[in-house]
Amino acid sequence: MRLVRPKVRACVQSIQPYQPGKPVEEVERELGVRGAVKLASNENPLGPAPQVIRVLKQAAGSIGVYPDGGCYYLRQALGQYLKLRAEEIIIGNGSNELLVLLGLALLEPGDEVLTSQMSFVVYYSVPQLMDAKLIAVPMRNYQFDLETMARAITRRTRIIFIANPNNPTGTAVAPVALREFIKKVPKKCLVVLDEAYYEYADSRIMGLSLDLVRERENVVVLRTFSKAYGLAGLRIGYGVAPKSIVDAIERVREPFSVNHLAQLGARAALEAGGHMRQSVELARSERTRMGKILAGMGFKIIPSQTNFIFTQAPIRDSQKFSRDLMREGIIIRPFAGSHVRITMGTRVQNDKMIRAVKRVLGNYKK
Ligand SMILES: *Cc1c(COP(=O)(O)O)cnc(C)c1O
């Protein structure tokens, strides 16, 4: 008898599901280690500000009603913070949701999405979901190669994704180069500047993107509360976009995707700016400190504008290296060849990571 199943779209079948890491507790149990340190997902080691926790505890009783679908107060607060009108701001269930909604709103089958290799996984799954064509040009020196990307634009290019600074390589593009690039992009093609690590970058190289949204009709800037604000578990991010794009996203989104606690937590986090700045200071000083120590141990360090370090480790196989580190209670993220990405933790956590790396490399020499 032939087995008949509901038919899944061929393009969906081709999507690689996101591989979530195991919960830290499970890793500890399986490997028999205690006090494992997760430096694999670019989370904020300080967590959220104490004010945020207070607000969330007080609000826990109010989750019986639907959230404000328009995110009214948060958009007002962000408008003030960014000196923009609330109508130019869009809130998402993480900036991830906004990336998907942009794809849903803009892409016809066969359209092209242009980005770079070695960037954020969602840029590769959004075109697949929409039956669009992915064009990912190689990086140059671990950076987005904007010159090559400009040459790769065609009549069918509808979205260009640029992570600035980039995950996983940690590099940022120079403002002059970005402006030049955007001048070359046809107006009917949308440029998405994903600034998830905006807060961690040197201010000299940032600060241009919101001007670009205003100057051009085809630029969107995405930011998130998941990293410098320490709210990754709440799922909330935002975008600044021209009115036509805000309007399109409002049409494709579901009514209540941004939950009540996330909206309250994000507002409280914005008010607790000191905690965010402290988190950024920690990541900046630790990426310098760890960069030097790791370089001294033979790692090739890619200069970082983020809360993590991307590096070529003095080993052959990053998968094996990461597994060996996990047995020492340190969880990092392996990439192709000998590349790994290490999120900056607290000083204590990072020192523990260095000791584990020394032990693992020492064992390789034996
Ligand atoms: C972490 C990250 C995000 C943020 O995702 P959220 O859905 O807001 O948690 C977006 N883009 C990049 C490149 C990231 O690394």
Q: Do residues 105 and 54 share a domain?
A: yes
Separation of CA 314 from chain center: 26
Quote the ligand 1 centre to 94 CA distance (angstroms): 7
What CATH number does the domain containing 63 carry?
3.40.640.10
Q: Which of 320, 336, 344 is nearest to 117 (CA)?
A: 336
Q: Do residues 154 and 133 share a domain?
A: yes
State the chain's mean pLDDT as an integer.
95
Does residue 358 fall inside a structural domain?
A: yes
The partner residues of 17 in beta bridges, in order of sequence, read none
Closest-CA residue, ligand 1 atom 10, reads 196
224 Cβ closer than 6 Å to some ligand 1 atom: yes
Percent of the chain with pLDDT over 70: 100
From residue 269, alpha-carbon distances to 62, 68, 256 in Å are 19, 18, 21
Q: Which of 245, 271, 297 is where one domain is finished?
A: 271
- pLDDT-derived band at 208 (thresholds 50, 70, 90) equals confident
Task: Give the single-character DSSP code of 140.
Answer: B
Q: Do residues 310 and 265 share a domain?
A: no
* Spatial distance between the Cα atoms of 46 and 273, rounded to a whole number of angstroms: 14
For 330, phi then psi, to 5°, come to -120, 120
94 Cβ closer than 6 Å to some ligand 1 atom: yes
pLDDT of the residue at 313: 98
Closest-CA residue, ligand 1 atom 2, reads 196
Does residue 195 fall inside a structural domain?
A: yes
Does residue 10 fall inside a structural domain?
A: no
**Is it true that the peptide bond before 175 is cis, omega within 30 degrees of 0?**
no
Is pLDDT of 129 > 80? yes
Instruction: Give pTM, 2 decimals.
Output: 0.96
120 Cβ closer than 6 Å to some ligand 1 atom: yes
Is pLDDT of 320 > 80? yes
**Closest atom of ligand 1 relative to the 41 alpha carbon:** 1
How many domains are there within the chain?
2
Does residue 3 fall inside a structural domain?
A: no
1 vs 283: which has the higher pLDDT: 283
Provide the token pair at 88. Answer: 């130019």
Q: Do residues 43 and 129 share a domain?
A: no
Tens-digit pLDDT profile for residues 46-59 = 999 999 999 999 99
Q: Do residues 125 and 238 share a domain?
A: yes
pLDDT of the residue at 204: 72
Does residue 206 fall inside a structural domain?
A: yes
Range of the domain at 296: 20-47+274-365
The mean pLDDT of 170-185, rounded to a whole number, is 95
93 Cβ closer than 6 Å to some ligand 1 atom: no
Q: Do residues 86 and 147 share a domain?
A: yes
Q: What is the DSSP string of 179-240?
A: HHHHHHS-TTSEEEEE-TTGGGS-GGG-S-HHHHHHH-SSEEEEEESSSTT--TTT--EEEE
Provide the token pair at 106. Answer: 């803009």
Closest-CA residue, ligand 1 atom 3, reads 196
Quote the ligand 1 centre to 194 CA distance (angstroms): 8
Q: Which of 240, 271, 302 is where one domain is finished?
A: 271
- pLDDT-derived band at 22 (thresholds 50, 70, 90) equals confident
Q: Which of 211, 245, 271 is where one domain is finished?
A: 271
Q: Do residues 187 and 331 share a domain?
A: no
pLDDT of the residue at 181: 97
- pLDDT-derived band at 1 (thresholds 50, 70, 90) equals low
Q: Do residues 236 and 95 share a domain?
A: yes
Is pLDDT of 292 > 70? yes
**Closest atom of ligand 1 relative to the 237 alpha carbon:** 8
SS3 of 66, please?
A: coil
Q: Do residues 58 and 42 share a domain?
A: no
Does residue 128 fall inside a structural domain?
A: yes
The mean pLDDT of 36-45, rounded to a whole number, is 96
44 Cβ closer than 6 Å to some ligand 1 atom: no
Question: Per mean pLDDT, which range of 13-27, 127-141, 150-164 is the poorest?
Answer: 13-27
Quote the ligand 1 centre to 46 CA distance (angstroms): 18
307 Cβ closer than 6 Å to some ligand 1 atom: no
Quote the ligand 1 centre to 312 CA distance (angstroms): 23
Contact present, 113 and 159 (Cβ < 8 Å)? yes
Q: Do residues 76 and 65 share a domain?
A: yes
Quote the ligand 1 centre to 61 CA distance (angstroms): 29
SS3 of 293, please?
A: helix
* Side chain identity at residue 220, one-letter code: V
What CATH number does the domain containing 360 carry?
3.90.1150.10
pLDDT of the residue at 20: 78
The mean pLDDT of 308-327, rounded to a whole number, is 97
Per DSSP, helices labelled H in the chain are 10-13, 24-31, 50-59, 72-82, 94-106, 121-129, 146-151, 175-184, 209-215, 243-252, 260-271, 273-296, 318-327, 347-365
pLDDT of the residue at 5: 86
231 Cβ closer than 6 Å to some ligand 1 atom: no
Does residue 1 fall inside a structural domain?
A: no
- pLDDT-derived band at 328 (thresholds 50, 70, 90) equals very high
Is pLDDT of 207 > 80? no
196 Cβ closer than 6 Å to some ligand 1 atom: yes
pLDDT of the residue at 64: 96
For 191, phi then psi, to 5°, come to -100, 120
**Closest atom of ligand 1 relative to the 225 alpha carbon:** 8
Helices 50-59 and 260-271: crossing angle, nearest 10°?
A: 150
Q: Do residues 37 and 167 share a domain?
A: no
Q: Do residues 157 and 66 share a domain?
A: yes
pLDDT of the residue at 203: 79
